[in-house]
Structure 1
Amino acid sequence: MADSSRPCTVWLGSETGILKGVSVSQKKAFNFCNSTHLSREHEVRALCWSDPVETEVLVASVDGNVKTFSVEKGVFTDGRRCGDPGEGCFVGLAVLSDTSLATCAESGVLRVWKEDSSEPAVQLSAGTNVCRMRQNPTHRHKVATGGKDTCLKIWDLEKPDKPVFTAKNLRDDWLDLRQPHWVKDIAFIPGSDKVVTCTGYHQVHVYDPSSPQRRPVMEAKFGEYPLTALSLPATGGLVVVGNTHGQIAMLDLRKGLVRGCLKGLAGGVRGLQCHASQPVVASCGLDRFLRIHNLEDRKLQHKVYLKSRLNCLLLASRPLEVSAVDATQEVKEEEEGREEDEVWDAMEQVEENPKRKTSEEGAERPQESKKKRNKD
């Protein structure tokens, strides 16, 4: 249990179904789960704050349940069914008001749930193969969705009959062939109506719903690998993106130029979030580390090994107590080694085939005999 006087400031969801909290000031990590019922069905896919004062975290898992975790008590206090595993994993979670919650699954089913009802108050289809749903932090009743061959759409959940904005696909290439589209993450740019997306084709797009043009008003590319996550720094004017090869870069939203890269990652980025007031960004992914980088000098300020592959993270809005000294500090777990992935457990042991060995020996004997005859 974390010290209540210094609560966790970073929350992460793992593939093993464990909610992990990290106290940056104490340089410690904590696991919160019911270990007797852990399975891959409890894999955490989305996190969000339940209230503005950040006393509760909503945790969405693969089995379709959304659980409420009390930060102050350090326990799960409530849970409700908000989806079906047959609809795919959760790709987004958002609190619309004190009494309503929005969820979205990979199948594109977007629902609004009221606190006093087990049936959704609103249900609509955002398309197929949806990869992300994000909420507008200024207008909380508005969300954006997008996915593989599913263009960006912005929805007003108070008027859910049709999207308020539907992006148009990119222009055909120079061979007049349709360009594929694959939205992987989305963010609303503060102080404007614009939306920024990153794609599985290493593109960054900026859309302006107030413009008559439904295609991107700005397009940029970074690297050669699919982009998986993005976040907007508090300073504005930049977007931070991460890809499947552990590369993180800062891009200028006006000119589309790369302003710098962050180093130190060793696996695909799955979660990325900039702090609300500080020039830092937290990232997590397949290499099982939480890392916090400074966006001004691009130095690593904090690094924690969390033993499980990580899907998502959630930062508290209060300031993080980090410094460059923390770059070499890692949380040491009492258990030795890393958690074994299920894929390794399921693999069969490969043994040598004695017949193949015999055939190889037999293939060598004629050569040896030939040498002997030549010698004689």
Structure 2
Amino acid sequence: MGDRSRLCSVWLGSETGILKGVSLSRKQAFNFCNPAELSRAGEVRQLCWADPAQSELLLGCVDGTVRTFSLEKGAFTGARRCGDPGEGCFSGLELLEGPGGEPGGPGGPPAGPGGEPGLSPGGTLLTCGENGLLRVWRGETETPQAEIRVGTNVCRMRSSPVQTSLVATGGKENGLKVWDLQKPETPVFSAKNLRDDFLDLRRPYWVRDLAFLPGSDKLVTCTGHHQVHVFDPATPQRRPVLEAEFGEFPLTALALPAGGGTVVVGNTRGDLALLDLRKGLVRGALKGLAGGVRALSCHASRPLVASCGLDRFLRVHSLQTREVLHKVYLKSRLNCVLMASRDHPEGEEQAEVTVKEEDEQDEVWDTMETVGDAKRKTTTTTPEEEGGEETERKSKKKRKKDA
């Protein structure tokens, strides 16, 4: 199984609890699970890397467990209880890195109770449930190091890639908040509700997904009311510094492409679009989906985006040509997708697949009858039938004469 897992460049979690790996270069998909342990309670809701080398995966399941999968071994190597099913599904799963920071210091993992050292860099696990309980896990302990109440109906939790002590949360009627794990008593930034509409009616707020913009403290969110917002905590303004809309259906997921300046969003109807974050305009649409989008993931250095959802397909689009480069049917409804940062060779393999498909189509058309041939065959009569028709005509003429 380790040989298979090392080939995979895209990973997905399904409603049936199966971890699925896809090798885009070889056009193959693999299931990683124990059939005897499959159940709805093991449904995978969140995926994240367990180390910078991307040699391990962390899976957040509906039953409140976080499972570890080793790509080198091709098997699950551990699991720990990080929640309760009654608290709701995981809305966020993050493993913090502490670049150059001492435990408890700026940029590093938080210190433990009483000032003792916290986790070493790469060892602080963050989990957040839909009930709004954000937990900080330290090492292999069974009890969380800290618990923060971030509000109810949380849809997404993400940490900042620049300053790992900052964590953002948001949900239904639960506006965007940014928390500092070093000072978790109150949020360091709390977004203000949108201005009333032209009828002076309150506008509802529903954050479905969010992300920190690369290299800054700015955040972008997508809402269940087909809106895209950009927030800048460095300014006194607590409302969005940019507002944009896409379509008429709730937005469910977003991802930030390499290079910055744009965001990919998807909605419940299966529409994907690339939006400009400077002007709020739609740069282009990514077509081909047939069901609601549940998760998006962009490649770390190439203009590629992977999407999955209710139609059970993994699709990889090019953000330059906006074409579907890969399309894989995975049999299960998919909840989350994670794309590895290594390169994905698609040129020669895609050309070979296209040629094969054309050859198969030519063979099918060669074996089919043309419309003209079919008509001639249906109107052609045998000699016996012609003789019978001639006899029938003569008998009709005789009856007319007798009459």
TM above 0.5, yes or no, is yes
Query: Greater CA radius of gyration, 1 or 2?
Result: 2
3-state secondary structure, aligned to 1:102: strand
Distance change >3 Å, CA 322–CA 127, structure 1 → 2? same
Distance change >3 Å, CA 296–CA 324, structure 1 → 2? farther
Quote how far apart the aligned CAs of 1:324 are. Answer: 8.3
Aligned to 1:299: 323
Match of 1:184 among 184, 208, 232: 208
Measured in 2, the distance between the counterparts of 1:173 and 1:323 equals: 49
Per-residue Cα deviation, 1:69-117 (whole angstroms, up to 9, x for no partner): 0011000001100001001000100001422100000000100001131
Measured in 1, the distance between the counterparts of 2:231 and 2:352 equals: 40
Amino acid at match of 1:29: A
Match of 1:138 among 157, 162, 177: 162
8 Å CA contact retained: 2:13, 2:46: yes
Measured in 1, the distance between the counterparts of 2:192 and 2:349 equals: 47
Quote how far apart the aligned CAs of 1:195 are. Answer: 0.2
Measured in 1, the distance between the counterparts of 2:71 and 2:5 equals: 12
Amino acid at match of 2:272: I
Aligned to 1:63: 63
Aligned to 1:310: 334
8 Å CA contact retained: 1:302, 1:329: no
Measured in 2, the distance between the counterparts of 1:5 and 1:260 equals: 34
Q: Does 1:74 align with 2:98?
A: no
Per-residue Cα deviation, 1:108-142 (whole angstroms, up to 9, x for no partner): 01000011311110101111111011121122222
Measured in 1, the distance between the counterparts of 2:209 and 2:252 equals: 7
Q: Does 1:98 align with 2:98?
A: no
8 Å CA contact retained: 2:168, 2:179: yes
Distance change >3 Å, CA 5–CA 243, structure 1 → 2? closer
Per-residue Cα deviation, 1:205-225 (whole angstroms, up to 9, x for no partner): 000000100000000000000
Distance change >3 Å, CA 278–CA 138, structure 1 → 2? same
Quote how far apart the aligned CAs of 1:260 are. Answer: 0.1
Distance change >3 Å, CA 67–CA 327, structure 1 → 2? farther
8 Å CA contact retained: 1:301, 1:324: no
Q: Does 1:129 align with 2:126?
A: no
Task: After TM superposition, list the pairs within 5 Å mapping 1:1-376 onto structure 2.
Answer: 1=1, 3=3, 7-96=7-96, 97-323=121-347, 326=350
3-state secondary structure, aligned to 2:205: coil
Measured in 2, the distance between the counterparts of 1:78 and 1:124 equals: 26
Distance change >3 Å, CA 6–CA 322, structure 1 → 2? farther
Distance change >3 Å, CA 246–CA 327, structure 1 → 2? farther
Measured in 2, the distance between the counterparts of 1:129 and 1:329 equals: 45
Amino acid at match of 1:307: K
8 Å CA contact retained: 2:3, 2:74: no
Measured in 2, the distance between the counterparts of 1:100 and 1:81 equals: 15
Measured in 2, the distance between the counterparts of 1:328 and 1:271 equals: 29
Query: Under a length normalisation based on structure 2, what TM-score does the superposition of the two structures give?
Result: 0.80
Aligned to 1:351: none
3-state secondary structure, aligned to 2:350: helix
8 Å CA contact retained: 1:303, 1:327: no
Question: Percent sequence identity over matched residues?
Answer: 66
Structure 2 segments unaligned to the other structure (5+ residues): 97-120, 355-403
The number of residues matched between the two structures is 330
8 Å CA contact retained: 2:226, 2:250: yes
Measured in 1, the distance between the counterparts of 2:270 and 2:352 equals: 19
8 Å CA contact retained: 1:6, 1:26: no
Distance change >3 Å, CA 109–CA 25, structure 1 → 2? same
Please, which moves more after superposition, 153-162 or 243-252?
153-162
Per-residue Cα deviation, 1:258-292 (whole angstroms, up to 9, x for no partner): 00000100000001011100001000000001000
Measured in 1, the distance between the counterparts of 2:140 and 2:41 equals: 26
Measured in 2, the distance between the counterparts of 1:84 and 1:176 equals: 41
Per-residue Cα deviation, 1:139-165 (whole angstroms, up to 9, x for no partner): 222211000000001111122111111
**Root mean square deviation, CA, Å:** 1.6
Measured in 2, the distance between the counterparts of 1:328 and 1:61 equals: 38
More helix by share: 2
Structure 1 segments unaligned to the other structure (5+ residues): 331-376
Amino acid at match of 1:43: E
Quote how far apart the aligned CAs of 1:238 are. Answer: 0.6
Measured in 1, the distance between the counterparts of 2:13 and 2:5 equals: 23
8 Å CA contact retained: 2:162, 2:216: no
Measured in 2, the distance between the counterparts of 1:269 and 1:114 equals: 33
Amino acid at match of 2:309: G
